[in-house]
Structure 1
Amino acid sequence: MRNLTMLTDLYQLTMMNGYFKSNIHEDILVFDMFFRKNPSSGGYTIIAGIEQVIDYIENLKFSEEDIDYLRSLNLFGEDFLSYLINFKFTGEIYAVREGTIMFPNEPIVRVKAPAAQAQLIETAILNMVNFQSLIATKASRVCYSANGDPVMEFGLRRAQGPDAGLYGARAAVIGGCVGTSNVLTGQEFELPILGTHAHSWVQKFPTELEAFRAYATTYPDKTMLLIDTYNTLESGLPNAIKVFDELRANGHEPLGVRIDSGDLEYLSKEIRKILDDAGYPNVKITASNDLDEYAISTLKSQGAKIDIWGVGTKLITSSDWPSLGGVYKLSAAMENGELVPKIKLSEDPQKINNPGYKRVVRIYNKTTNKAEADLMMLADETIDESKPLKVFHPVYTWKTKIFYNYYTKDLLEPLFIDGKLATNRYKVKEIKEYAQKEKDSFWPQYLRISSPERYKVDLSEKLWELKNDLIEMRKRDQQ
């Protein structure tokens, strides 16, 4: 596993040094990681990257080379550098299970640890969870538009660097893609890898027909031909059908054709008709070319005869929403043996955090098993499921709802306790299955691409009162 201890911002280290110099580096702090807006103005976010957070924490250790580099900066004394030599994580981390659907302002990761430790890990956790959650959510939106058609992730060459390509493809599969063109992702995470040939393959041969024959000879039972190198309908498709006939004569059946340019709606309809007339109704049509959820939705509504979608640039970069914007905010600090809630104020009400050591509970309907609302509570609060549960809007408090036939589920689960791993590890295939179950537990109006219904996320009365009391107290302090 890679040691990413130095994957941090400099100010994390300068704050750690300040804590150390002030002899408060062992004081316990509580931080929440959360985001404020769903990507692409959507209705939900799929959380990904938790497995990488586990790897990061388990390998958190400053090497001799790290210490030498930090010494060279002339920012840190030898006493602090000596402290770093034996540095390790000893606190607790709770997080949602990877693949969980979450909503703005809900804690995704909750850290309770000595100040220096809790501070250091902020940047890496944000880096890992922000990016992969963004791409998993984008992939989920793309797959939703495909409405059950297979979607392949093709974005490696357009990703912003090798790590973005590697982990972006991983996240795309969690979000619903059937596989990836990225061989390293396939190897690292035991995922299906997909792909056939490029236009350059066709260009290398004297004729398109020869190129198709050579590929079919190499892969007679996996023949999918890219037919738009020269002219899709006048040469590409007729030559493909000739090769398909030859394959069939030798006891093999072709898989499909792919188009990567042109009017995908018109071409797919023409291709389908010609293939059917030629006796190949089972040959699949794959389309690529700067697709995203909006383009796929439009093509589907126009009746395009596309069976499989290859999505690259706009998926791996989440082109319309380039970052999730998750944050990591202090919510409590241990003072005189007691956790004291902390709050950050802002002129923008959306940037005022929810204070305290909290849990997040999801409320399900017992009859439908569908999620109906989330409730943020202080960790010592409980719910009696034998009694009606009343919740209210955290801003428009007169808006209330009472649940009768319900059950609840805590979303934050232990990841590390006393620095030791306290959870199961999951393969990407298992995380993908869990993410699909999560989506199945929500009504379609929360998942739709455009103008989704807003899912209810409420505060318990006790947390709501705490938040407002702290706001008023801070206002008085400023007067």
Structure 2
Amino acid sequence: MPPAIREGSLVFPKVPVLQAAGPLGLCQMVETSILNILGYATLVATNAARHRLAAGWKKKLFEFGARRAQGPDGALTASRYAYLGGFDGTSNVQAAYRHEIPLAGTMAHAFVSSFASFESLKPATSLLGPSFPNAVLAARDSVFKLWHEKNFSQMAKEGELAAFTAYAMTFPDGFLALVDTYNTLSSGIPNFLAVALALFQEGHTPQGIRIDSGDLAYLSREARQQFKECEEAFNFPFSALHIVVSNDLNEAAISALNDEGHEADVFGIGTNVVTCQSQPALGMVYKLVELEGKPCMKLSEDVEKTSLPTAKAAYRLYNKAGIPAIDLIQSASMPPPVCGRQLFCKDLYDDKKRCFFIPKAVEELLVLLIKDGKLLQPLESIEVCRRRCITQLQHFRADHLRLHCPTEYKPTAYATAEVFPHCRHFPEWRKRENCAKQTRKCVHQTLTRNRGEEITYTSQATTNALPFKRIEGSAVACCCRSGETCEPPATRIPTTSERCAGNQTQKPGLAVPHRAMCAACECGQCMPHSRISSVRRGISKNAGTPYPRVRACRSECRNSATMTIGSLIRHAHRRR
């Protein structure tokens, strides 16, 4: 079986995630299972990573989505892959037990509402002893005196205080109170501070509060201010207590809270992480790419839906700063890229996007995991996969990961035409694809410069011309798509210092030239007769006048492989 990408790795469109090899029927039978298993898990991990990037690395994220997940199995899967994508814990007890994920949770509104008054507390065995409720009542009086002008003694709910006391007696070091059941500022937070003060006095450390409704930014700031005032009054570390906020949070809501300013330490996210609000389904496909050693591909009118044939290898290339720069896709039969050796890379679909790149480090993305039904490597733990995900997120450029208008990170191809038909330009610049349908005969046109010097040029009569090469001892020759090479009569090539084109006139008996081309710089692009004629008529008032002066020296065209019609006109008007 060919390799797969390790769990927790960042992967981009068109990069193969998994390759399966075997009998055609069996490979086809597992399609649904593979897409079902990989699709939802990848989607949740991606969604979790986006929430992590929105919240920042200093805040904690907890997954609270079991009630909204797609069934029991969906809830377990969501908890695992939310943790892999950057979350810090889950409220799903079963998922925490099965996948060794940190468990985190708070009380429910129903628990708070179930206590009507302080008399609702029943005698129970507690680490805090039977006197703890009395200690809470004494602490309440001390806390309420700090803000006597706010009249908390009249507004705070006694049943809420009883619920907090019962919870603290059960979890003295895990006390995290839900404070918005009645009134967050007038009841919930004062009652929490009373119980927290009693816990501090008993030698225990409470965790904090959770706000599940209202203006989260404003309420978190007010809560933090009350914590600081309590710390100054009682000399206990109230300001170190956590503030958890929830209430249908998503990437946009977290970004808005960050922009407004808040004092929350933890975000509790449920519905929007397990249901993947921003993208409910992942467009992952499973295609046949090779049959009996021969490449296969699926064609489409939409070029981006055309599959890439043959078994492939994928590599991540790093620049000298240690940042991923290119994901390289090539045939598995090709030699792998080497550090320090120049590679020619191009976009899979846009011929104009291509470059030479010298990698400082090369990472092989696809590794062999299963062969002949046997596991070749032990399965990695969830912690290892999570660490890989976080490390890669932190190493990618920030503009690739920003939530709004990110810079697109596109995989690139390094291949031959037989493997990737999208590629028409290859590392070997003198090799050209055999494409007779788009080829016309190369026509030699002789242009006469104003000083009487005869120079022979070669042009290709097609609007989709390929770059030209220099043939020693002659002028410029082109490599046709048919594989033929035009070799005009030997003529001296002008030096770089010479003017590349002067007042060029049409020699009697010759057709209108295809181009005014710089032989020294090898710039210019082949143009059909009709196109160049229209350009000529547009810049000359009568057809008998000499062809306009065109200057295209190396200093002006060194950054471009071709000289377009538009630049030809601009140069002509500039020199008239």
Superposition TM-score tier, normalisation by shorter sequence: 0.7 to 0.9
Q: CA deviation at 1:119?
A: 1.0
SS of equivalent residue, structure 2 residue 367: strand
Within 5 A, what are the aligned runs for 1:140-289? 140-148=49-57, 149-206=59-116, 207-279=159-231, 280-289=238-247
Look up the equivalent residue of 1:286 and give its one-letter code. V
1:7 — aligned with what? none
Name the CA shift for 1:455/1:468 in 2 (closer, same or farther; >3 Å): closer
Q: Which runs of 4+ in 1 moved over 4 A?
A: 468-473
Look up the equivalent residue of 1:138 and give its one-letter code. N
2:9 — aligned with what? 100
Match for residue 400 of structure 1 among 318, 334, 354: 354
Name the CA shift for 1:137/1:463 in 2 (closer, same or farther; >3 Å): farther
CA distance in 1, matches of 2:104, 2:32: 33
SS of equivalent residue, structure 2 residue 27: helix
Look up the equivalent residue of 1:436 and give its one-letter code. I
Look up the equivalent residue of 2:22 and give its one-letter code. A
SS of equivalent residue, structure 1 residue 385: coil
SS of equivalent residue, structure 2 residue 286: strand
SS of equivalent residue, structure 1 residue 330: coil
Q: Is the CA contact (8 Å cut-off) linking 1:361 and 1:411 kept in structure 2?
A: yes
Q: Which has the higher contact order (CA 8 A, sep 6+)?
A: 1
Look up the equivalent residue of 1:196 and give its one-letter code. T
- Which one has the bigger helix percentage? 1
Q: Is the CA contact (8 Å cut-off) linking 2:310 and 2:331 kept in structure 1?
A: yes
Per-residue Cα deviation, 1:247-284 (whole angstroms, up to 9, x for no partner): 12212222100000111011111111111111111111
- Which one has the bigger strand percentage? 1
2:252 — aligned with what? 294
CA distance in 2, matches of 1:188, 1:392: 45
Match for residue 370 of structure 1 among 323, 328, 331: 323
Name the CA shift for 1:198/1:387 in 2 (closer, same or farther; >3 Å): same
Per-residue Cα deviation, 1:18-45 (whole angstroms, up to 9, x for no partner): xxxxxxxxxxxxxxxxxxxxxxxxxxxx
Q: CA deviation at 1:116?
A: 1.8
Per-residue Cα deviation, 1:139-163 (whole angstroms, up to 9, x for no partner): 0111111112000011000001111
CA distance in 2, matches of 1:249, 1:298: 38
Structure with the greater alpha carbon radius of gyration: 2
Name the CA shift for 1:467/1:251 in 2 (closer, same or farther; >3 Å): same
Match for residue 120 of structure 1 among 22, 29, 34: 29
SS of equivalent residue, structure 2 residue 224: helix
CA distance in 1, matches of 2:350, 2:210: 52
CA distance in 2, matches of 1:297, 1:472: 53
Q: CA deviation at 1:464?
A: 7.5
SS of equivalent residue, structure 2 residue 180: coil
1:314 — aligned with what? 272
1:453 aligns with 2:407: yes
Of the structure 1 ranges 447-456 and 168-177, higher mean CA displacement relative to structure 2 is found in 447-456
Q: Is the CA contact (8 Å cut-off) linking 1:292 and 1:311 kept in structure 2?
A: yes
Match for residue 467 of structure 1 among 414, 421, 443: 421
Of the structure 1 ranges 381-390 and 314-323, higher mean CA displacement relative to structure 2 is found in 381-390
Q: Is the CA contact (8 Å cut-off) linking 1:377 and 1:463 kept in structure 2?
A: no
Q: CA deviation at 1:394?
A: 2.4
For these two proteins, the number of residue pairs brought into alignment is 379
2:262 — aligned with what? 304
Q: Is the CA contact (8 Å cut-off) linking 2:331 and 2:419 kept in structure 1?
A: no
Per-residue Cα deviation, 1:62-99 (whole angstroms, up to 9, x for no partner): xxxxxxxxxxxxxxxxxxxxxxxxxxxxxx14210001
TM-score by length of 1: 0.76
Alpha-carbon RMSD across the aligned residues, in angstroms, is: 2.0
Look up the equivalent residue of 1:373 and give its one-letter code. I
Name the CA shift for 1:195/1:130 in 2 (closer, same or farther; >3 Å): same
1:61 — aligned with what? none
TM-score by length of 2: 0.64
Look up the equivalent residue of 2:86 and give its one-letter code. G
CA distance in 2, matches of 1:150, 1:464: 50
CA distance in 2, matches of 1:465, 1:255: 59
Q: Is the CA contact (8 Å cut-off) linking 1:143 and 1:177 kept in structure 2?
A: yes
Name the CA shift for 1:468/1:270 in 2 (closer, same or farther; >3 Å): closer
Name the CA shift for 1:469/1:221 in 2 (closer, same or farther; >3 Å): closer
Look up the equivalent residue of 1:439 and give its one-letter code. L
CA distance in 1, matches of 2:79, 2:372: 33
Look up the equivalent residue of 1:262 and give its one-letter code. G
